[in-house]
Structure 1
């Protein structure tokens, strides 16, 4: 059936069952289309397998279906499509495999559709499993039962003229029944009616008008005229009661009323049936709440938000008003879930909902879309400043420390804001808010951003770049460059830093700054980072075995925040070292200062595990981030790398010189080594020598080189390295 999966037994079973089985992968491509679907749709497996789901023509209610599929793929939520809303979603017919285009729409079979997530281990991804049952026969049976029920109702009405049957029914049914003569006087009442009405019902003494009131347009008519002329009696002489209402129902009771006319030889009687639907109303209310509100936070859910946003945009189109829409995403919420557990994560979401409700108006709609995504719908907004004020209030209230289950938690949010005006639809508004929200994240989180047309351009570029990066990873377009670090004391190459590059073409090579953050957003950074580490260790051992580097030369690899907080990161590093047979103390892992503040507990724990293996830890670009010398005592750090911006003008800028000197002295006092980055001239080199810096790297020695050029460098540039080796001692001696 498909080459994507490998169990022939499963396929045989799927093809034998008497229902439709459709499986979609994470990109909504068709993986499974069983024999039942082929027979009912006329669409062969060869026509649909591995093609996009949207290639299936003539699907009804496609938006509702796609929303349920996305819930299964992204949020792992199961759902069933109501046959009441649309019983014929897929183009499936009872014609037995004829050309579907030649068959009338009326022959579509009625379908019960179940949608649920399905983890396929062989593909390592969550897919969507859709089962489709033919319920046409069930619908027919229901119609027959309804017909029989109507026939039984007619028989019952005929029997009501017989006193003994009438009395038995009246005394025992749960519906309230009152009978009136043609003048409106009460002539019969059962116990159920007496229990429903808050007044005594004395036969012969109570008039219909004391129980029920009629709408004003009928008030001038007599009782019998009111009944006959108020459209209550339909063609079957029985109808719902739309024009009457009763102020006499007991508090808390909801009733549904209908009239039945009984024809006697010389007159008419009218029986009023009161059905207590209180429990049904309560059930409907409960189901309505479950359908429209998030069970965890009590906020509106996606379905209710879409409805309210649609109505708000419709009103805005009529009145030229502006609708404010904000999309929120909690920053680093995953860290809370991973480190403290889902129970604390749920408490956090509930507290976020409570705080958000405290800073907005009662008429505004706050909704939880799923996971850690929230949104806010605000109508009647006049200015940007009003939306800015609300967004800032939300950021401020969320920034306050939360104490949840004994844990003190700090959280922030990134907010995308859209001012929706005339002509915009739901899809546009949500897409624009999403673009603005991700722009706020890229600006450093805990910020809000208004949508503008430039964001749309950037978003399109980002989407295109994401697709290119997926292909780059698949096609092995990532490449390693290498730059030596030289010891100032001896002048020899003491370490090699490994640097990631993306070779888009033979002449175009992109540095990490152009794509690294996007790799993190896409979730590819873990795979790419692990590949870099494995290749670096392999190359280092290969060079050592060839005698191209010294036995003590270390290899330096940069890490991202997402890598280091992976629960099994230390185990992965240990496994890589074992596979490449490289000693742990010759591996140097570089992190930035900002990583230390991502999740201090998780990062500290990970660094301690690495230190226990004997691995060296370096802080890259030191001095440019959240520089606080105090945190150096809290983390197991071995090496500080002075950022190139300070080294570059160390001889011309007194401030840079003071910073470089302070970093060197501090590091040595704490027992750390120091590396000066960006050394491009002899003046900077001399300054670092004079102030006892341990190592340097920069264009003065070599720029980052691709593998073949670096091999040539360490083989053919021996004379140049010897010149530098001789230069450094002479500088030391002259000092």
Structure 2
């Protein structure tokens, strides 16, 4: 029987039962029971026919109808069956009372299914608020008057209260069910009508205060049974067990009006009772229910504000997502933006996963029937988000969302797309169903933006593709590379326009081997055969060919087999003219292994040839020798005569070194003025020594540059394979031998000896100890007097540094100054000497009378003077010690004055203007020039001890010293003679007019206290 016909017959039957129930009082109980059984039957039939998602609430509804029918029949049959069962009336009332909670459970189950477990706090608060208002009205106008006026026992009063509470709970749950979003259809209306009829008859029964209207209460069950049956037979009965759409965050006008009426119930009741009844009854009940209503309304308003804040947060998330989608350059970036947006739109810590499925646009792409059906449905529904079971989506998406039971599926649809298909893709979001329902509307808005972003990217890619086609077509027409298509007979079928420019003639119709140089044709044939044989693309191959003007060009070839491509049907050969590049590569390779100035091998090539020479030496049992060559005093020439002259000197030296070697040997420039020679294929080390002798002899001849004759002397260090068998060891030993040769007086060679390693180790240990001494201050100063040769009175002291070594005692400066210079430790050491000397002379000047206050002379190294800020350091030291600048003399060497460094001269001038005197130490042993004595800020000349030692027995030395003294007097310079050892030296210097002197004749270097005592002695001569 059709469902609609069965429902119509059932409805007609229930109406007939109702009429008979009213017309024939004697049949009331059987008719009431029959109505209940008919409703149960219809509920069972409706469940089987419509198959709702959950059958539990409908079965509960059937049980509630059964209990109601049985309980009502039992309670009404009590007087008639009093002799059979005296307590039947009470049992019936109990069964009827049990039907109320079961009906409430049924409604609660429907509410739970409709909300899908969603946290719809607002709907619950609305239902409770309305119920609270209705409860107040019911108590005021129904329950309260009934309890006050009816003659009830305590048990009857409690039963009445239980029925009233049950009715209010059912009313609250019915209100909650009806306030869920969406419509439950006719089934919900039938169910609501039946429950309201039941509640209305209960109210009428209580208001009447009469026993003869009790039949009306029983009669109210018939609409409930009829409504339950009709609701179950309605096709919309399945909607009551399906989740409804997410509730709106906004508070509608109708709901707001109902909440307002519920809130006004309490004051309305108070006004009514005061006006009509002349007093307020049950004030406590009114106050409690009024407070509950007020608190519920406040909670609802708080929920509205929270929903508003959540809506604002989602709006911000959508704005951020819009910005990210606008800037997305490809589908991956769109996916990242969507995942970020969904994470921001969902509540925190909600597990979820996003899958963005693109629509299939290529006809050859396989599509399952299920996916095709879904796509057709998506095109028809547009961007409406639907909550579906995970098993209902396409398997390719479902396998990625297996951890979730429900998926929010939102199609990405754009109308009027250029492709004609409105479906761009589908957005899937897996997660808890309650969270996904709250995301539905927001996701629909986001879906449109996603679709626009994907369409924009697709259109951009299409425009780029078309532009690329035009670009590559133009590129082929204008590229300098030659693009050829060669057929199976090696004949050129197509050539790009640049072929004539590169090859000098049109190659179309010509066989490719005829274009290539005859010497490379056999290799070309192998390459073409290899490509045709499936070897893949051949690239980076160089071939020679005859180009324009019959010149030979170098072509780089790339060959690819595209015979299977019908648009090409041949080999694609690309030729690029790399003639200039290959020439440049050869030049760069030469530069990488040769010195650009001299043309000799550089350090890299020298090391490589050394490795090969060692291998050949082991194979042939030959000796390999390495020579390190360093020009002596090249820096002086370079600084004095200029870098241009220095470069020409290096070129000439390189030529002479190469000329002194055999054809099998290698000459190299390692850098600066350092050269090296590799001697191989000799039978004994003596041949290597002979090579060093030839090199020194070749360099002994003067070299004329720009008309000026220059002497290029060199020091050479030698080592051979008998001393070492590895390249690193040979290089290290040659360097040590060179160091010994330079220390031995230069312009000579030295061969590596095993003890040189120990010397170098000692030197490194000395350097390490010196570094520690500088940091710890293990130095002391001694002072040697500078004496007026006429009066023999001290006018000053030279500060001489000594190293107080913890194990070796006091070390003289000639044993560590050179190491300090090399390591740079001379700078902090010199700073300490200057400060300590000024501190000492300051103490002397405070003790001694003004007439006998000496000055102090401090040696300054070249490296220390060139240190930035040296002048400021001297000024600061003077200020700190409280010594006038006139009490300080700085001794510099002639090496500092070589070259044309204006900064050096400027610093010397500043110091002289400050009052500090400048002395040239060891004058005459180095770069002696009259020009700098006349033009530069020099105050004192100190004659070296070597001149003083020989002036007694050598007339020439005596004349030389006399000339220096006379020259100084002419230039108004003061002279200090160093190394006065006896009275004869003093007498001769005094006769020559030398004003000042120092040496052991007067005193050895003294400690500060000894020097002060020496100053106070009446006759400070050592001879005395």
Q: Same fold (TM over 0.5)?
A: yes
Query: Where do 5+ consecutive residues of structure 1 fail to align?
Result: 1-166, 729-735
- SS of the aligned residue for 1:467 comes to helix
Matched residue, 2:998: 697
Q: Which of the residues 166, 186, 190 maps onto 2:491?
A: 186
Question: Partner of 1:275 in structure 2?
Answer: 575
Q: Whole-Å Cα distance in 1 between the matches of residues 597 and 991 of structure 2?
A: 63
Task: Decide which of 590, 611, 630 is 2:891's aligned counterpart.
Answer: 590
- Matched residue of 2:530: which SS? coil
Q: Distance in 2 between matches of 1:646 and 1:214?
A: 77
Q: Does 1:529 align with 2:830?
A: yes
Give the C-alpha shift of residue 300 in structure 1. 6.2
Contact 1:232/1:242 (<8 A) preserved: no
Aligned to 2:1018, the other structure's residue is in SS state helix
Q: How do residues 524-603 of structure 1 correspond to structure 2 at under 5 angstroms?
A: 524-547=825-848, 550-566=851-867, 568-592=869-893
Q: Is there any run of 5+ residues in structure 2 with no aligned partner, and where? A: 1-472, 682-686
Where relative contact order (Cα < 8 A, 6+ residues apart) is larger, the structure is 1
Q: Residues 512-547 of structure 1: CA distance to partner in whole angstroms, max 9, x if unpaired?
A: 111212222222223322321222112101111133
Answering whether residue 748 of structure 2 is matched by residue 452 of structure 1, we say: no
Query: What SS is found at the alignment partner of 1:579?
Result: helix
C-alpha distance after superposition, 1:330-368 (max 9, x if no partner): 95759978x99xxx86x6776566555655659887766
Write the distance in 2 (CA, Å) between the matches of 1:492 and 1:597: 35
Conserved in 2, the CA contact under 8 Å of 1:309 and 1:377? no
Indicate how the Cα distance of structure 1 residues 209 and 541 shifts in structure 2: closer, same or farther if over 3 A, else same. closer
2:731 alignment partner in structure 1: 430
Range moving further from structure 2, 664-673 or 358-367: 358-367
Higher strand share: 1
Q: What residue number does 2:768 align with? A: 467
Distance 1:459 1:280 in 2: 49
Shift of 1:672: 4.3
Which residue among 489, 501, 504 is the counterpart of 2:802?
501
CA 1:210–1:361: 2 relative to 1, 3 Å: same
Look up the match of 2:530: 232
User: Contact 2:482 / 2:496 at 8 angstroms: preserved in 1?
Assistant: no
Structure-2 residue corresponding to 1:722: 1018
Determine the C-alpha separation between the residues in 2 that align with 1:171 and 1:615: 79
TM-fit CA distance, 1:630: 8.4
CA distance in 1, matches of 2:866, 2:540: 65
CA distance in 2, matches of 1:308, 1:355: 23
State the superposition RMSD in angstroms.
5.4
Q: Give the equivalent residue in structure 1 for 2:816.
A: 515
Aligned length: 532
Tell me if the contact between 2:653 and 2:699 (Cα under 8 Å) persists in the aligned partners.
Answer: yes
Deviations 1:588-642 (A, max 9, x none): 2334556555768776655444433333334444565567788754555444445
In structure 2, the residue matched to 1:144 is none
Q: How far apart are the structure 2 equivalents of 1:524 and 1:317?
A: 44
- In structure 2, relative to structure 1, the CA distance for the partners of 1:289 and 1:349 (3 Å cut) is farther
Task: Give runs of aligned pairs for residues 189-228 of structure 1, distance below 5 A.
Answer: 189-191=494-496, 195=500, 203=509
Among 755, 777, 780, the alignment partner of 1:479 is: 780
Give how far 1:253 is off. Answer: 3.0
Distance of 1:413 and 1:650 partners within structure 2:
30
Give me the whole-angstrom Cα distance separating, in 2, the residues matched to 1:613 and 1:357: 48
Is the 2:624–2:680 contact (alpha carbons within 8 Å) kept by the matching residues of 1? yes
Deviations 1:406-442 (A, max 9, x none): xx99997865454554864342343344334544554
Distance 1:581 1:676 in 2: 29
Give distance in 2, aligned partners of 1:575 and 1:409: 46
- For residues 278-303 of structure 1, the C-alpha deviation after alignment (integer angstroms, 9 at most, x for no partner) is 27656756775776567899876654
C-alpha separation in 2, matches of 1:245 and 1:416: 48
Q: TM-score, normalised by structure 2?
A: 0.43
Cα offsets for 1:147-166 (capped at 9, x unmatched): xxxxxxxxxxxxxxxxxxxx
SS in 2 for 1:253: strand
Q: Deviation digits for residues 164-190 of structure 1, max 9, x if unmatched?
A: xxx999999955445454xx5638454
Query: Using the alignment, how far apart are the partners of 2:653 and 2:982 within structure 1?
Result: 56
Q: Is the 8 A contact 1:170 1:190 kept in 2?
A: no
Q: Helix, strand or coil for the counterpart of 1:702?
A: coil
**Aligned to 1:490, what secondary structure does the other structure show?**
coil
2 CA distance for matches of 1:492 and 1:622?
24
Closer/same/farther in 2, CA of residues 477 and 190 from structure 1, 3 Å limit: same
Are the equivalent residues in 2 in contact too, given 1:317–1:421 (CA < 8 A)? no
Shift of 1:211: 5.8
Say which SS state the counterpart of residue 880 (structure 2) adopts. helix
Report the Cα distance in structure 2 between the residues aligned to 1:707 and 1:256, rounded to whole angstroms: 85
Structure 2 equivalent of residue 58 of structure 1: none
8 Å contact from structure 1 (residues 418, 429) kept in 2: no
Q: Name the CA distance, whole Å, in 1 between partners of 2:476 and 2:935.
A: 83
What is the CA deviation profile of residues 225-272 of structure 1, one whole-angstrom value per residue up to 9, with x for unaligned ones? x869x98369844364999977667722323364749589xxxx9847
Equivalent residue, structure 2, for 1:88 = none
**Structure 2 counterpart of 1:616, from 917, 921, 933:** 917
Structure 1 pair 557–232 and aligned structure 2 pair: CA distance change class (3 A): same
**What is the rounded CA distance, in whole Å, between the counterparts of 1:626 and 1:495 in structure 2?**
27
SS of match in other structure, 2:553: coil
Query: In the superposition, relative to structure 1, how do residues 552 and 306 fare at CA in structure 2: closer, same or farther (>3 Å)?
Result: same
Structure 1 stretch displaced more, 357-366 or 384-393: 357-366
Instruction: Determine if contact 1:435/1:451 at 8 Å carries over to the other structure.
Output: no
User: Are the equivalent residues in 1 in contact too, given 2:717–2:736 (CA < 8 A)?
Assistant: no
| Change in 2 beyond 3 A, CA 1:567/1:413 | farther
CA distance in 2, matches of 1:576, 1:366: 51
SS at match of 1:232: helix
Q: Distance in 1 between matches of 2:541 and 2:892?
A: 75
Given the superposition, is the C-alpha separation of residues 255 and 668 from structure 1 closer, same or farther in structure 2, using an over 3 Å criterion? closer
Match of 2:800, SS? strand
Cα 1:417/1:178, change in 2 over 3 Å: farther
Q: 1:188 to 1:171 in 2, by over 3 A?
A: farther
Choose 168-177 or 677-686, whichever is displaced more.
168-177
Q: Is the 8 A contact 2:483 2:575 kept in 1?
A: yes
**Structure 2 CA distance, aligned partners of 1:296 and 1:653?**
48
Contact 1:415-1:437 within 8 A present in 2 as well? yes
Deviations 1:312-342 (A, max 9, x none): 44445444364555455795759978x99xx
With structure 1 as the length reference, what TM-score do the two structures score?
0.57
Question: Matched residues in 2 for 1:593 and 1:612: separation?
Answer: 21
The 1:448–1:526 alpha-carbon spacing in structure 2 relative to 1, beyond 3 Å, is: farther
Q: Distance in 1 between matches of 2:615 and 2:839?
A: 62
